[in-house]
Homo-oligomer: A and B are copies of this chain.
Amino acid sequence: MKIEVIENVLKYNKDQADKNRKLFKDSMLLVLNLLSSPGSGKTSLILETLKRLKGKKNIGVIEGDISSTYDAEKIGKLTDNVIQINTGGSCHLNASMIEKAISKLKIKRLDLLIIENVGNLICPSGFDLGEDHKIVMSSVSEGDDKPVKYPPVFIKSDLIILNKIDLLKISDFNQNFFENKVKELNPLSDIIKLSCKTGIGMEEWIEWVLNRCKIRN
């Protein structure tokens, strides 16, 4: 009984994700689904991206949280194109929540939509939102063993971002161990190391995004 219901939920989610995907494609919109533990720096990355691409790309942001509008308020200082989804306790975003959120964004005018998922390294990776790319962010302060302990999200992501590299100098984080484990799980993934705080590595991230923005006819 339990398994049957979960399968129905995932099937329903997949159908809605396919509808979202078609809408995103028709709108020439690049959609990134940003996943991480709480406090890895997803919101900081979005804020820095908005600053660096201001005047170059129109960016929309969907903020997912179990409660509060704390992050959306920060983002709202830089753009009007932000929607907060409060999941009411649920540990992940799903495709239906995204459908409702994009109905409130003028997506035909946007080049890029960044979805900040609920801070959770496990559950969100199981739910397709219709995005072009899942991106997982890990941070130096979380330790180098995250790929070993939470494999699914690293397997399913096209890009692995290692944030807070300014802390490497005061940490025993082993970069080779981290990167080797990522590559074992997901040999085709890209890895970008950066610090939202100091700005180091941000150019590589911005270039990664710009290379994937759709060319409009």
Binding site for B on A (CB under 8 A): 1-2, 5, 9, 37-39, 65-68, 70-71, 89, 91, 118-123, 139, 141-143, 145-146, 148-152, 164, 167, 170
Nearest B residue (CB) for A121: B38
Which single member of B37, B65, B67, B149 contacts A37 (CB below 8 Å)?
A: B37
* 8 additional A-B residue pairs with CB within 8 Å, beyond A37-B38, A70-B149, A141-B164: A37-B121, A37-B142, A39-B142, A66-B122, A66-B152, A70-B148, A119-B150, A120-B121
| Contact of A146 with B67 at beta-carbon distance under 8 Å, contacts A118-B122, A123-B91 already known | no
On whether the beta carbons of B66 and A149 are closer than 8 Å, the reply is yes
A169 to B89, CA, bound (A): 33
A152 to B149, CA, bound (A): 24
Which single member of B121, B122, B146, B167 contacts A141 (CB below 8 Å)?
A: B167
A118 to B123, CA, bound (A): 12
Which single member of B1, B67, B123, B149 contacts A151 (CB below 8 Å)?
A: B67
List of B residues within 8 angstroms of A66 by Cβ:
122, 149-152
Pairs A–B under 8 Å by Cβ, sample size 29: A1-B5, A2-B5, A5-B5, A37-B37, A37-B38, A37-B142, A38-B149, A39-B139, A39-B141, A39-B142, A65-B149, A66-B149, A66-B150, A67-B149, A68-B149, A70-B145, A70-B148, A91-B91, A91-B120, A91-B122, A118-B122, A119-B149, A119-B150, A120-B121, A120-B122, A123-B123, A141-B141, A141-B142, A141-B164
